[in-house]
Structure 1
Amino acid sequence: MPEQTTTRAPQPAPPPAAPAPAVRASAAGARNSLARLGPWPWLGPSVVLILLVVVWPVVEMVITSTHKISGLGIDFGYDGTGRYHKLFADARLGPVLLWTGVWTVLVVTFTMVISLALAQLYNQKFFGRKFTRWALIIPWASSVIVTSIGFRWMLDEVAGVFNRLLLDLGLIDSPESWTGNAAHAKPWLILVAVFVSLPFTTYTLLAGLQTVPGEVYEAAKVDGAGRWQTYRRVTLPLLRPSFLVALVINLINVFNSFPVIWGMTQGGPNTDTSTSTVFMYILGQTDVGESAAMSVVNFAVVIVMVLLFLKVSRWNEES
């Protein structure tokens, strides 16, 4: 008789053992602790980064401004407010601050007006719009210091193409030193600063224009509003958030701008074209403490300027 084999049906796997009460209590406690922390587990890394990148350098800057430190980095010890007294007694500080104010106002004003016009243009449909939008990115994509040095060589008295062009056209009799004196250099500095500021500002305003729904313009047209009235009463109020963002960022960037002036004139001749930021760098070559004091003044001016602007523009008030 052949030997018979018997097969057993597979037995179902036993159910997983329930976690011990201690494990469940531990997991629940961890979740409750995490919930009590609220958003801090996610905000914590950003706060730490801000403390390391922003707050700590500011504290170090204030401490440095109370020490007498040579341009070689030799610390002669605590000097209290001595570096501030030396800074405010410097005869060059007044003209530097005046030029800084004029520079900031003119560059920001021209940038905002031209960018608003360009944003309106690029918001329209026309042949070659994509190409012109790409072309506008070039000053932004290029290094600011490289752009500034390029303009400096273009305006060079001996080898500059600008003098060569004017001589060939008979507009000047001899080459001019366009960056060698403040009267000629300042308009060029403003021009270059506006040139490198246009891309960011234009695209910010263009993004704001593209968020305006077309139905709003249709409703204004039905109500009989003209083109200028629609622009003034519909477009500008809806563009206000983007406009304020671009304006505040431009104020801060232009006030703190260093590459344009340093790349073209290095703040000279003497300190005639130096803004407070360039002047701070120049001071650091001989007196680090005084340079830090100038940095503290710059920081305070930026904070006050932004707070006043936000107060006047009523940033938090809905229009």
Structure 2
Amino acid sequence: MKAPPSPADAGRGRDGRVSGPARRRGGLARLGPLPWIAPVVLLILAVVVWPVVELIRTSFLNISIAGKVRGGAGTDKFAKLFEESDFGAVLFWTAVWTVVVVAVTMLVSLALAQLFNQNFPGRRLTRWALIAPWAASVLMTAIGFKWMLNQTAGVLNTLMLDLGLIETSRDWLGRSDTAWPWMMAVAVFVSLPFTTYTLLAGLQTIPQDVYEASRIDGAGTWQTYRRITLPLLRPAFLVGVVINLINVFNSFPIIWAMTQGGPGYDTSTTMVFMYKLKETDIGESAAMSVVNFAMVVVLVLIFLKVSRWNEED
């Protein structure tokens, strides 16, 4: 009786050569995972890499307001950008905006995540209620707050006048000293759902056996929280901080809907500043975009370096 062919000889013909289907399978096998990841790589090249390359190229061109290229500009657009009188103030307020919003968001989200991780009546309802700011459009939320803060017909001024807290209506968004706190409050409000659920997911992955072992060892509540909860929550916390840093730094709808960066550039971040420069100089606006991109990358890298994200506790 003839023995069955071995796996190595299964794809060979009578002359010992590899047959067509086996040869094609071998060719695809040599490519490894490339056929599967090629669409994703092409999508990243088209959606991410190519726009960044075009953005950098545009920042070195002299472009009219109508969009006509009038030749190269070298680094003149960057020099013009750095010489803008409002550039330093915009950078300062962008840093304040980012740090304050991210810090307050993380602290409030941590408290809410720990609250939602407990069993209490109505927990499911409150969890669903927190999704509302996330489900609503950021632009719609910002416009809603703008109407609420309106000087003549806003709910806030009407309520405060009725309660005798103020004597005359205030233009809350007309001055930078009152506009910034309100815009930061809206930014925190719309950032809470994602961050809270990220931290809640991290809390729910912590094994209960660890807490039971700490109680047996006689650890107090604060020691358990500081030595067990926070270290094990670190991966989720880092994800929340990084995502919020990127989102808040690049935030545009809230500021534009509420103040449009005014009066002047008093309530502008670098994103709003970039958009307003487009009205006078497209090349300078592109240069501001390149600076924004570089600052985001540097900001995230510094945070990851300081937080030692790839080190285990």
Pairwise TM-score range, normalised by the shorter structure: over 0.9
Larger CA deviation: 37-46 vs 99-108 = 37-46
Gap runs ≥5 in structure 2: 1-9
Using the size of structure 2 for normalisation, the TM-score is 0.94
Which residue of 22, 30, 37 corresponds with 2:31?
37
Cα contact 2:11–2:22 (8 A) shared by 1: no
Q: How has the CA–CA distance of structure 1 residues 48 and 175 changed in structure 2, closer, same or farther, with 3 Å as cutoff?
A: same
Aligned counterpart, 1:13: none
| Residue type of the alignment partner of 2:27 | S
Q: Deviations over 1:129-187 (max 9, x none)?
A: 00000000000000000000110110000111100001000010100000001011000
Which residue of 229, 232, 236 corresponds with 1:242?
236
1:317 counterpart SS class: coil
**Is 1:201 the counterpart of 2:195 in the alignment?**
yes
2:71 counterpart SS class: strand
| Residue type of the alignment partner of 2:185 | L
| Residue type of the alignment partner of 1:251 | L
State the Cα distance separating 1:81 from its structure 2 match.
0.6
Q: Deviations over 1:103-123 (max 9, x none)?
A: 000000000000000000000
Cα contact 2:161–2:167 (8 A) shared by 1: yes
Aligned counterpart, 2:153: 159
Question: Aligned equivalents of 2:158 and 2:20: distance in 1?
Answer: 81
Q: How has the CA–CA distance of structure 1 residues 19 and 305 changed in structure 2, closer, same or farther, with 3 Å as cutoff?
A: closer
Identity %: 65
Larger radius of gyration: 1
| Residue type of the alignment partner of 2:151 | E
State the Cα distance separating 1:70 from its structure 2 match.
2.6
**Is 1:214 the counterpart of 2:208 in the alignment?**
yes
**Is 1:123 the counterpart of 2:117 in the alignment?**
yes
Aligned counterpart, 2:284: 290
Question: Aligned equivalents of 1:285 and 1:316: distance in 2?
Answer: 43
Aligned counterpart, 2:258: 264
State the Cα distance separating 1:34 from its structure 2 match.
1.7
Question: Aligned equivalents of 2:287 and 2:86: distance in 1?
Answer: 15
Aligned counterpart, 1:87: 81
Question: Aligned equivalents of 2:167 and 2:11: distance in 1?
Answer: 95
Aligned positions, number: 302
1:77 counterpart SS class: strand
**Is 1:192 the counterpart of 2:193 in the alignment?**
no
Using the size of structure 1 for normalisation, the TM-score is 0.92
| Residue type of the alignment partner of 2:105 | T
State the Cα distance separating 1:86 from its structure 2 match.
0.6
Aligned counterpart, 2:4: none
Question: Aligned equivalents of 2:289 and 2:31: distance in 1?
Answer: 37
Question: Aligned equivalents of 2:65 and 2:94: distance in 1?
Answer: 24
Larger CA deviation: 75-84 vs 294-303 = 75-84
State the Cα distance separating 1:63 from its structure 2 match.
0.6
Aligned counterpart, 2:7: none
Which residue of 290, 296, 300 corresponds with 2:294?
300
Cα contact 2:91–2:269 (8 A) shared by 1: yes
Which residue of 136, 153, 161 corresponds with 1:142?
136
